[in-house]
Structure 1
Amino acid sequence: MERKKIDIRGVHDAGISTAIAEIQRRGGSARRTGRLLAIAASSDLPNLADSVLAKVTAKTSGDWQTSVTYGRGRIAGDVASKERYWIFVDLGTGPAQFYIAPAIWVREEILKRHEEFLLRNGGKRPINPDSVHHKIKAKWIAQWRQRWGLLGLPDE
């Protein structure tokens, strides 16, 4: 059976829905608040004061896509200073796989890997010097697979 392709927005929405369902399956609750998820370790709907904020990013194949501006901590609406965790959702693996990483670690990793990339390429991007695109490979975040405990939820 051929898989139907969905656009980037559809992948993002599917990632958020899948993450919310998994959080609920583990006994927690989550709701969207702008570009982030507010997550509580109980089944009560979280209010912002009692919740952990997480950015959700999803993929169906290849690598996760983001921006080097996250590594620099400069994102529109200052989202980068508000989230505490990133939830990476791999929708292309049969049952979805989740990687939950601290936001500060993700930001530092993006910055480190981008600087290494620039060093290998003479200090600038070789094709489009103005691009802010950054990829995140699953092997780079493998240590964060199924780390739901960081959000106060059971790991299994």
Structure 2
Amino acid sequence: MATGRSNKLVGQTGEYMIAAELSRRGLIATTFTGNVPHYDIIASDEAGRHVSVQVKASRVPSWQFGNITQYCDITFDGKRQVVGDRKPCPVRRLIMTFVRIEDDGNDRFYILPWERLRDLLIDHYQAFLSRHNGVRPKNWESLHCAISEKILNPCRDKWNIIEKNLR
């Protein structure tokens, strides 16, 4: 069973793993250990170009997000949820990194721009709502969303996205 402490350790481990991988790739990676609202790491190159990086870590093949309204507007028509406008990225050039932490050390990394994550989450959320006529089956008011490793698979090891976004 996941506890608050074990969840913190998974998150902290993920941040350090991403920072280490960025360093291995020639970037200076500074972690903020959850003290900055939208990102966990600033990565910079020799020229001083930098990019903000958000880290999501998990020991299971999915990552949970508290609320889809971080990514789009939701209105209610009775119990039906209606997906509205997509929201802009909260930080310019924000890169999302996901790490699947494995006990055997065969960890997996997924890298994508925030806007691509937003679009994947919204598309998945809309598809789920469509299968249920717009009403979430267990709790119609829930705005919880998640993304699976299967959906992120095309983003595996796309470290070049970070380098492309250095400015």
TM value normalised by structure 1: 0.78
Is 2:110 the partner of 1:111? no
Partner residue in 2 for 1:26: 25
SS of corresponding position for 1:7 = helix
Equivalent residue pairs, number: 142
Which runs of no fewer than 5 residues in structure 1 stay unpaired?
Answer: none
CA-CA distance at 1:80 after TM superposition? 4.2
CA-CA distance at 1:41 after TM superposition? 3.2
Distance 1:84 1:152 in 2: 12
1:3-152 to 2 correspondence within 5 Å?
Answer: 7-33=6-32, 34-35=36-37, 36=39, 37-42=41-46, 50-66=49-65, 67-72=67-72, 80-82=89-91, 84-92=94-102, 94-152=105-163
Higher strand share: 2
Amino acid across the alignment from 1:112: D
Amino acid across the alignment from 1:132: L
Q: 1:11 to 1:79 in 2, by over 3 A?
A: farther
Which runs of no fewer than 5 residues in structure 2 stay unpaired?
Answer: 74-86
Amino acid across the alignment from 2:10: V
- Structure whose CA Rg is larger: 2
Aligned residues of 2:62 and 2:149 also touching (Cα < 8 A): yes
Distance 1:29 1:69 in 2: 33
Higher helix share: 1
TM value normalised by structure 2: 0.74
Distance 1:24 1:91 in 2: 19
Aligned residues of 2:43 and 2:53 also touching (Cα < 8 A): yes
